[in-house]
């Protein structure tokens, strides 16, 4: 489905809630730019840039990287040409300060958050999802050893890369990420709900069925 003007979508949900999985589908369907702050930060870490070196410790511990660092990184991407038709923000904002900054950045471009989509998944499901996740470091494809296994164990279906487990998908780090999510990010639900542009979707079930719910919610809320 094509959209006539830029649309900016915030994807909210807990770690392992399926934000990355659904962001890929949404960006393809609505021709938007996928902006995942987690992916961008992991790329900075891999390239050992000054930002990556600073962010690495926070990420390994499951803590949030400071707002200023993530904000600066995002700002450049938002002004890129590919962001012109709108973005799916995956993993951003994560604090009320980040939500306010995003409003300001979009306002400079004459835009706003049109829709905040919340994928609701209970904590008990998340641990199994994250410990079973395997990602391709070459093309970014994401699999799950049980729910979405690759055709050949350990090998990416899309590009043949060797699948890896993310460094922060260890049980102790996952528990910290969940704690941080409930403390710092969950309050954003109230923030967007009070503006009337939050849609909640149950995130348990097949990824295709969840995507259809998200697509329908976008149609209802996009203004």
Residues labelled as active-site residues: 19, 94, 133, 166, 177
Of 100-108, 129-137, 193-201, 211-219: span binding ligand AP5 (CB under 6 A) = 129-137
> Of these, 6, 13, 25, 201, which contacts ligand AP5 (CB under 6 A)?
13
Binding-residue pattern over the window 49 to 68 for ligand AP5, x denoting contact by CB under 6 A: ---------xx--xxxx---
Tell the smallest beta-carbon distance from residue 54 to ligand AP5 (Å): 12
Q: Torsions phi, psi of 135, nearest 5?
A: -125, 155
Copy the structure tokens of residue 123. Answer: 């904590």
Say if residue 153 is exposed, middle or buried (CB neighbours under 10 Å; 0-12, 13-18, 19+).
Answer: exposed
3-class DSSP assignment, residue 146: coil
**How many Cβ atoms from other residues are within 10 Å of residue 99's Cβ?**
19
38 binds ligand AP5 per the rule CB under 6 A? yes
For residues 207 and 107, what is the distance between their CA atoms, to the nearest angstrom?
Answer: 33
In the complex, minimum distance from the CB of residue 23 to ligand AP5, in angstroms, rounded to a whole number:
7
Q: Which of 142, 155, 164, 221 binds ligand AP5 (CB under 6 A)?
A: 142
Supply the minimum distance, in Å, between the C-beta of residue 31 and ligand AP5. 20
Considering only residues 188 to 207 of the shown chain, the ones binding ligand AP5 according to CB under 6 A are 205, 207
Residue 137 sits at φ, ψ, to 5 deg, of -70, -15
Rounded Cα gap, residues 195 and 15, in angstroms: 24
Residue 88 near residue 36, CB atoms below 8 Å? no
If one asks whether residue 19 binds ligand AP5 (CB under 6 A), the answer comes out as yes
Which range, of 17-25, 106-114, 154-162, 191-199, touches ligand AP5 by CB under 6 A?
17-25
Asked whether position 20 contacts ligand AP5 by CB under 6 A, the answer is yes
The three-class DSSP label of residue 42 is: helix
Among residues 55, 41, 39, 29, the alpha carbon closest in space to that of 117 is found at: 29
Pick the piece of the chain touching ligand AP5 (CB under 6 A) from 44-52, 88-96, 100-108, 189-197: 88-96
Taking CB under 6 A as the rule, does residue 10 contact ligand AP5?
no
CB 189 within 8 A of CB 198: yes
45 Cβ contact list (under 8 Å, min separation 6): 52, 53, 55, 56, 59
Give the residue closest to ligand AP5 by C-beta: 38
Least gap, CB of 5 to ligand AP5 (angstroms): 26
Per CB under 6 A, residues contacting ligand AP5 are 13, 15-21, 37-38, 41, 58-59, 62-65, 70, 91-92, 94, 98, 129-130, 132-133, 142-144, 147-148, 168, 177, 205, 207, 210
């Amino acid at each position: 489905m094509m959209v006539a003007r830029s649309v900016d979508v915030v994807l909210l949900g807990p770690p392992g809630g399926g934000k990355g999985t659904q962001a890929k589908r949404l960006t393809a369907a609505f021709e938007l730019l996928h902006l995942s702050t987690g992916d961008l930060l992991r790329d900075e870490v891999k390239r050992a840039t000054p930002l990556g070196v600073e962010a690495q410790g926070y990420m390994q511990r499951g803590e949030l990287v400071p707002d200023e660092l993530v904000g600066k990184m995002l700002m450049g991407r938002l002004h890129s040409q590919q962001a012109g038709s709108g973005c799916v923000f995956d993993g951003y904002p994560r604090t009320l300060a980040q939500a306010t900054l995003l409003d300001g950045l979009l306002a400079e471009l004459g835009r706003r958050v049109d829709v905040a989509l919340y994928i609701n998944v209970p904590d008990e499901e998340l641990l199994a999802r994250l410990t079973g996740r395997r990602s391709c470091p070459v093309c970014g494809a994401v699999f799950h050893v049980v729910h979405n296994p690759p055709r050949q164990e350990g090998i990416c279906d899309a590009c043949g890369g060797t699948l890896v487990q993310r460094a922060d998908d260890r049980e102790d780090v996952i528990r910290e990420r969940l704690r941080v999510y409930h403390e710092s990010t969950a309050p954003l639900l109230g923030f967007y709900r009070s503006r009337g542009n939050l849609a909640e979707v149950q995130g348990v079930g097949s990824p295709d069925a969840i995507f259809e719910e998200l697509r329908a919610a976008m149609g209802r809320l996009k203004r």
